[in-house]
């Protein structure tokens, strides 16, 4: 089977991929659509009492949130699932403080294996799927946890994009800005966030999608130019303020002579 992948202007990763054309047995090309799944995971540390396990699997997934975007760059569905940790009978206090997740939220939830199966079934195999997450930490966690727990990794989740890296490259930001958090990036882009929902898996997937869709449609360019100008104006303002302050100090110094 011959597969030709068509890229958008980036030409570097599946970020702009719209569709693929597959040649059937007769040699005729048929378009196969590509859906994008934006995913976010929340995790909890493995119990300190399980040192040998913790050494190989430091954290477990306790919440999965995902948004499906179709080939027209439209949100068509969402997925949410709490996950009961297998190697900790509690949620770490700092995790509860950060995410709002308590043990009562996950105690009756499904285990990771069932959660992954539900996610796999939700994504389906009707179209090609490209997974997006803010950084590659979610992919690494999912792959590691599947491997450690002896779970077959889903075949419809193998194509991943580190959207954090691609976002800043596409926006043409300086390299020292490329490790900013999702929420900081959203704030810079002008997205108004609900402070109480931050670090909820589904909400963070929604925020990531709000950053992704403008890039897919090309409308990000307007905001990108505005952000660059705003950054330049802020720099000039800071320079003026420093110069102005220095001038006053110098003037006061002359008066003392």
What Rg, from alpha-carbon coordinates, does the chain have?
23
> What phi, psi does 144 have (nearest 5°)?
-65, -45
**Interval 208-256: pLDDT, tens:** 999 999 999 988 887 777 776 665 444 333 333 333 333 443 344 334 3
**Interval 20-64: pLDDT, tens:** 444 445 555 555 578 999 999 999 999 999 999 999 999 999 999
CA 190, distance to chain mean position in Å, is 17
CATH placement of domain 34-218: 3.30.420.10
Residue 154 and residue 120 in contact, taking contact as beta carbons nearer than 8 Å: yes
Residue 131 and residue 39 in contact, taking contact as beta carbons nearer than 8 Å: yes
SS3 194: coil
Residue listed under structure tokens 């890296």: 165
- The whole model's pTM is what? 0.78
> What phi, psi does 4 have (nearest 5°)?
-110, 125
Structural tokens at position 16: 């702009």
């Amino acid at each position: 089977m011959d597969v030709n992948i068509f890229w958008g202007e980036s030409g570097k990763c599946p970020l702009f991929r719209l569709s693929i054309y597959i040649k059937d047995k007769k040699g005729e090309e048929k378009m196969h659509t590509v859906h994008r799944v934006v995913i976010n995971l929340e995790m909890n540390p493995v119990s300190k009492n399980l040192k040998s396990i913790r050494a190989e699997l430091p954290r477990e997934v306790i919440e999965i949130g995902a948004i499906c975007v179709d080939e027209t760059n439209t949100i068509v569905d969402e997925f949410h699932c709490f996950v009961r940790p297998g190697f900790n009978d509690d949620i770490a206090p700092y995790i509860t403080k950060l995410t709002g997740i308590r043990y009562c939220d996950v105690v009756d939830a499904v285990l990771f294996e069932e959660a992954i199966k539900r996610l796999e079934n939700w994504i389906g195999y009707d179209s090609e799927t490209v997974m997006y997450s803010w950084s590659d930490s979610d992919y690494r966690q999912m792959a590691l946890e599947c491997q450690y727990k002896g779970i077959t990794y889903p075949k419809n989740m193998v194509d991943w994009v580190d959207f954090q890296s691609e976002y800043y490259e596409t926006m043409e930001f300086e390299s020292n800005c490329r490790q900013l958090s999702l929420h900081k990036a959203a704030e810079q882009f002008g997205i108004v966030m609900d402070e109480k929902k931050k670090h909820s898996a589904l909400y963070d997937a929604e925020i990531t999608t709000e950053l992704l869709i403008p890039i897919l449609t090309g409308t990000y360019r307007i905001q990108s130019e505005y952000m660059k100008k705003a950054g330049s104006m802020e720099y000039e303002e800071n320079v003026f303020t420093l110069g102005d302050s220095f001038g006053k100090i110098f003037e006061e110094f002359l008066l003392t002579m």
